[in-house]
């Protein structure tokens, strides 16, 4: 076992060694701390740089997002505006169409009301037997929007009125002719034909009109009427009268060859006619003179 001084020296050396080791450890720790601090600063700078980049990137992304949103909103707004405009135009067209339809309905209603009033007036004329006024009224209202029943009833009534007026004008014309008033006779008979065609007295009226023309010195107007009657008169009893009168008119206008042809046809077609002898005499005279 050593002496106390040696033990003390030994402890002092141990202490010095521990101090040296502690200082070395402190120095090493400081170096490590400095290095760690530098690393931390470097990491902090990189982190800050990344954060700034991230901020700028986020800002840019946000700006792009906002722009995209604005563009989308603008497109959606434009589309909505176009849709509203289109709906407005359609609504305007619908309103215009409905307005036109309403005006058309109002017009039809007014026309129908007026037609009903006119039909009622015409009916009163039918009941009163005022045939001439009925015919005149019918010419004014027949194009109006009458119902089928109204139109059929009034058309039948007007047709009967025309037939009755035509017959009355025919008898009046024949009376004028009997009294030698040929101008009045012609007017009345033409009125009779104008009132209604296809009546049983139409052929007789035309024959008497042709006779009136001859009496008034208008044979050239009578000839076409008589030619049609002589060729295709529905009343066979008038055929010989029309043919013989045609020949007389042709002689009057000095169409002698036509007159001779007409007389030959008369003699051949109507051998039993009361005028057969007159026709033969007239043909013989024409043959000897012309």
For 167, the token pair is 């017959």
DSSP letter for 3, please. Answer: -
What digits encode the pLDDT tens for the residues 76-110? 888 888 888 888 888 888 888 888 888 888 888 77
For 221, the token pair is 């107007």
Over its C-alpha atoms, the chain yields an Rg (Å, rounded) of: 63
What digits encode the pLDDT tens for the residues 52-75? 777 787 777 788 888 888 888 888
Q: Which residue in the block uniquely carries the two structure tokens 């002698």? A: 256
For 230, the token pair is 């002589």
Q: Which residues are CB-contacts of 267 (< 8 A; sequence separation ≥ 6)?
A: 276, 279, 280, 283
Neighbour count for residue 80 (Cβ, 10 Å): 10
CA distance 36 to 184: 145
CA distance 12 to 5: 10
Assign domain 217-290 to its CATH architecture.
Answer: Orthogonal Bundle (1.10)
pLDDT, residue 187, reads: 95
pLDDT, residue 217, reads: 93
Neighbour count for residue 211 (Cβ, 10 Å): 23
What digits encode the pLDDT tens for the residues 18-33? 788 778 787 888 787 8
Looking at every residue in the chain, the average pLDDT score rounds to: 85
CA distance 23 to 105: 117
Q: Binning pLDDT at 50, 70 and 90, where does residue 191 land?
A: very high
Residue boundaries of the structural domains of the chain: 130-199, 217-290
Global model pTM greater than 0.75: no
**Is 68 or 180 the better-scoring residue by pLDDT?**
180
């Amino acid at each position: 076992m050593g002496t106390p001084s040696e033990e003390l020296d030994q402890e002092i050396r141990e202490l010095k060694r521990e101090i040296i080791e502690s200082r070395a450890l402190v120095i090493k720790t400081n170096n490590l701390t400095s290095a760690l601090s530098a690393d931390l600063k470097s990491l902090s700078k990189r982190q800050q740089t990344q954060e700034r980049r991230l901020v700028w990137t986020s800002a840019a992304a946000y700006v792009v997002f906002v722009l995209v949103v604005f563009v989308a909103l603008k497109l959606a707004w434009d589309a909505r505006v176009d849709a509203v405009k289109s709906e407005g135009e359609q609504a305007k067209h619908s309103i215009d169409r409905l307005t036109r339809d309403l005006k058309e309905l109002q017009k039809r209603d007014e026309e129908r009301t007026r037609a009903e009033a006119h039909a009622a007036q015409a009916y009163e004329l039918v009941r009163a037997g005022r045939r001439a006024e009925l015919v005149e009224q019918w010419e004014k209202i027949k194009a109006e929007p009458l119902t089928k029943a109204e139109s059929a009833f009034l058309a039948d009534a007007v047709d009967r009125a025309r037939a009755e007026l035509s017959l009355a004008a025919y008898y009046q014309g024949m009376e004028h002719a009997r009294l030698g008033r040929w101008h009045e006779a012609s007017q009345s008979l033409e009125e009779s034909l104008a009132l209604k065609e296809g009546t049983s007295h139409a052929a007789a009226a035309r024959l008497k009109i042709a006779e009136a023309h001859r009496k008034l010195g208008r044979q050239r107007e009578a000839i076409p009427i008589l030619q049609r009657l002589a060729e295709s008169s529905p009343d066979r009893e008038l055929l010989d009268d029309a043919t013989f009168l045609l020949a007389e008119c042709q002689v009057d206008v000095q169409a002698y060859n036509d007159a001779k042809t007409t007389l030959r046809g008369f003699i051949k077609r109507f051998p039993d006619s009361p005028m057969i002898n007159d026709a033969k005499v007239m043909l013989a005279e024409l043959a000897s003179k012309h």
